[in-house]
């Protein structure tokens, strides 16, 4: 039988040394476990944050590069359908419009939620890195440590769990964005932003809606789908965004924005715009014909903006939450500020004409529609005016067209002046339009001027195509289908002229007073009188009345059109007309 021999320590090694299979002398097992967990958490958080950053950058490039290209394509299709109405083309417009707005909402939601994910990932990374650094600095504690092989197994298990949890979190985030709810725009997507501003898309008074009624009676209730009281007075026109109708109202003390359900007429919410005028500012006293809420609102499908005679502006989301509010300074206007708002992409455009020419107060202002800060502003050599700006796509360029005594001026969307024509004067209220390749502007009571918009600088002597000087409106804006242009005076004289040279084709006295501007829908011309009577005239080279319907309430505002619906603001109520 072999005797058991006791093992002796190797030469130069003492009995207190740690076995080579133990943990390196960097701390006790618990400390080392926390160190490894924190290290792996930092690594996973860093990878996760990097992925989110890449996705946010790609999303930003899509918003800035791809969305504008598709939006321009949509505008081209809309202009094309005005000249060549076609059901197939209309379907293409609706599909493209739906796609653009769905993608836009997805991308902005991704930007919003992705920023929070990035902040969370960076927070986890910073905390984990801090913990890692703390444990790494711990001094070794001389004590016997467990078997190294077992420790390595445990560390590997913890690392796998850390990676698994991190990847699960990343997968959950990706799944969250991939399956987030998409807004349903319904079967008629064009209706969702069919009337986003004064006189509809582009401010032209042209509607591509279908199945719009032609007969109703406010006295009997025939064709009146609903009627809702508007709390505060205002002469601004309704606008339609999504399944909601927006108006504003104000008096000397309150400025409010109203959101009505387009289907039921229920008042969904009321937004209050604060008085932000500087201390000591002169009180505003607008004329009775304008009041405190004459300018029509504008929407981009996600936000709505309103401006009042006090110079106060309010921006709200579709749920009634205030996005921002500001004051531009009390406007110096003879009758009260009344120019309606316009938008170009993310710019809120304000024609802020006031005072006399020598006062140098007038300017065109572009605000960031998301944040409310001033992007640019351009001085204008005009006195106070009441016309509204339009944005027209001319060739491969967008132009902001404005009118103010004595100039019609076009600006680039960056605020740079492109051209000007000295051809109008007086108290200008009718807004310009773009049709048949020409800009049309009105000098009240005096003349209609047609201008070719491809010039630069002062084009007064070179680019005025033609003008006429008979039966000219003083309030109502013109309307054109690209071939014919219609003018409606306040006392009801309706004239039809050729776009190419201004030749008068016919003239008819409707024997009613009109403040609302006319609208063309297909082959119908809709004219709403001050007494609430809607005249429906055939768009053609001869006068032909198709129908006449009475609302039963006085109306000063222009109506809004949507598929199967007309929204009309009376002096006290908002009406929805439908089949």
How do 438-443 and 417-422 pair as beta strands? unpaired
Query: For the segment 187-226, what is each residue's pLDDT rounded down to a tens digit?
Result: 333 335 579 999 999 999 999 999 999 999 999 999 999 9
The interaxial angle of helices 148-178 and 87-136, nearest 10 deg, is 160
- Domain 189-578 matching CATH 2.60.40.10: the answer reads no
Going by their DSSP bridges, the two strands 417-422 and 457-458 should be labelled as parallel
| CA 406 remoteness from chain centre | 31
Between residues 58 and 573, the one the model is more confident about: 573
Q: What is the pLDDT of residues 250-278, one digit of tens each?
A: 999 999 999 999 999 999 999 999 999 88
Of the given ranges (85-89, 122-126, 342-346, 543-547), which has the lowest mean pLDDT?
A: 85-89
Please state the domain extents for the chain.
29-178, 189-578
**Has residue 112 got a pLDDT over 80?**
no
Give dist(CA 229, CA 503) in Å, integer: 44
Q: In which element (H, E) is residue 506 found?
A: strand 504-509
Beta strands in 125-250 (DSSP E): 206-207, 224-229, 239-241, 244-250
DSSP letters of 534-553?
Answer: EEEEE-SSS--EEEEEE-SS
Q: At what angle do helices 87-136 and 29-61 cross, to 10 degrees?
A: 160
- The tens digit of pLDDT for each residue in 418-461 reads 999 999 999 999 999 999 999 999 999 999 999 999 999 999 99
DSSP-assigned letters across all residues of 462-486: TSEEEEE-SS--SSSPPEE-SSEEE
Helix or strand run (H / E) with residue 118: helix 87-136
Angle at the Cα of 383 from the Cα atoms of 378 and 388, rounded to 5 degrees: 70
Tokens 């986003």 belong to 196
**pLDDT confidence of residue 469:** 95
Separation CA 260–CA 251 (nearest Å): 20
Question: In Å, how far from its chain's centre is CA 154?
Answer: 56
Structure tokens at 401: 């067209």
DSSP single-letter state for residue 242? T
What is the pLDDT averaged over residues 38-45? 80
Per-residue pLDDT reduced to its tens digit, 458-507: 999 999 999 999 899 999 999 999 999 999 999 999 999 999 999 999 99
Is the CB of residue 448 less than 8 Å from the CB of residue 442? yes
Query: How remote is the C-alpha of 459 from its chain's centroid?
Result: 32
What pLDDT score does 116 carry? 82
pLDDT in tens, 278-306: 877 888 999 998 999 999 999 999 999 99
Asked whether residue 123 carries a pLDDT value surpassing 90, the answer given is no
pTM of the model: 0.70
Q: Cα separations (Å) of 266 from 241, 260, 303, 346, 543? A: 15, 5, 19, 30, 39
**Which is it for the CA torsion 381, 382, 388, 390, positive or negative?**
negative
Q: Residue 383: pLDDT above 90?
A: yes
CB 575, CB 238: distance < 8 Å: no
């Amino acid at each position: 039988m072999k005797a058991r021999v006791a093992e002796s320590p190797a030469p130069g090694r003492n009995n207190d040394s740690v076995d080579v299979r133990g943990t390196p002398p960097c701390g006790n097992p618990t400390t080392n476990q926390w160190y490894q967990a924190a290290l792996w958490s930092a690594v996973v958080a860093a990878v996760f944050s990097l992925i989110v950053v890449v996705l946010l950058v790609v999303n930003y490039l899509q918003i800035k590069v791809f969305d504008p290209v598709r939006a321009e394509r949509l505008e081209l299709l809309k202009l094309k359908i005005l000249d060549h109405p076609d059901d197939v083309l209309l379907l293409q417009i609706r599909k493209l419009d739906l796609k653009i707005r769905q993608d836009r909402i997805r991308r902005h939601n991704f930007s919003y939620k992705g920023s929070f994910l990035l902040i969370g990932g960076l927070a986890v990374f910073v905390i984990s890195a801090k913990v890692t650094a703390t444990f790494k600095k711990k001094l070794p504690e001389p004590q016997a440590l467990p078997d190294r092989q077992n420790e390595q197994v445990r560390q590997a298990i913890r690392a796998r769990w850390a990676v698994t949890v991190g990847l699960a979190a990343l997968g959950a985030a990706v799944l969250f964005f991939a399956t987030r709810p998409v807004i349903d725009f319904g079967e008629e997507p064009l209706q969702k932003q069919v009337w986003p501003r004064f006189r509809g898309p582009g401010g032209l008074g042209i509607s591509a809606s279908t199945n719009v009624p032609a007969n109703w009676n406010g006295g009997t209730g025939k064709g009146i789908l609903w009627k809702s009281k508007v709390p505060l007075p205002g002469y601004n026109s309704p606008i339609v965004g999504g399944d909601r109708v927006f108006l504003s109202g104000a008096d000397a003390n309150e400025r409010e924005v109203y959101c009505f359900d387009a289907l039921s007429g229920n008042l969904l919410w009321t937004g209050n715009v604060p008085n932000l005028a500087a201390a000591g500012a002169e009180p505003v006293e607008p004329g009775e014909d304008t009041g405190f809420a004459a300018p029509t609102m504008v929407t981009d499908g996600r936000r709505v903006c309103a401006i009042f005679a006090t110079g106060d502006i309010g921006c709200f989301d579709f749920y009634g939450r205030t996005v921002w509010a500001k004051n531009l300074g009390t406007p110096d206007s003879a009758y009260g500020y009344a120019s309606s708002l316009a938008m170009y992409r993310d710019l809120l455009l304000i024609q802020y004409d006031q005072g006399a020419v020598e006062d140098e107060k007038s300017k065109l202002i572009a605000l960031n529609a998301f944040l409310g800060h001033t992007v640019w502003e351009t001085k204008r050599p005009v006195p106070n005016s009441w016309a509204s700006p339009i944005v027209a796509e001319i060739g491969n360029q967008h132009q902001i067209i404005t009118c103010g005594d004595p100039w019609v001026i076009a600006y680039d969307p960056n605020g740079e002046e492109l051209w000007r024509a000295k051809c109008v004067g007086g108290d200008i209220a009718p807004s310009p339009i773009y049709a048949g390749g020409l800009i049309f502007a009105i000098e009240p009571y005096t003349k209609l001027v047609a201008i070719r918009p491809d010039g630069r600088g002062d084009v007064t002597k070179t680019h005025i195509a033609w003008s006429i000087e008979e039966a000219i409106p003083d309030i109502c804006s013109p309307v054109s289908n690209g071939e014919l242009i219609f003018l409606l005076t306040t006392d009801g004289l309706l004239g039809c002229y050729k776009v190419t040279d201004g030749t008068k084709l016919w003239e008819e006295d409707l024997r009613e007073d009109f403040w609302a501007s006319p609208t063309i829908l297909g082959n119908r011309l809709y004219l709403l009188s001050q007494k609430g009577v809607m005249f429906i005239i055939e768009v053609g080279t001869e006068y032909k009345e198709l129908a006449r319907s009475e609302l039963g309430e006085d109306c000063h505002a222009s109506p809004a059109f949507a598929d199967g619906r007309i929204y009309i603001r009376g002096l006290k109520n908002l009406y929805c007309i439908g089949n």
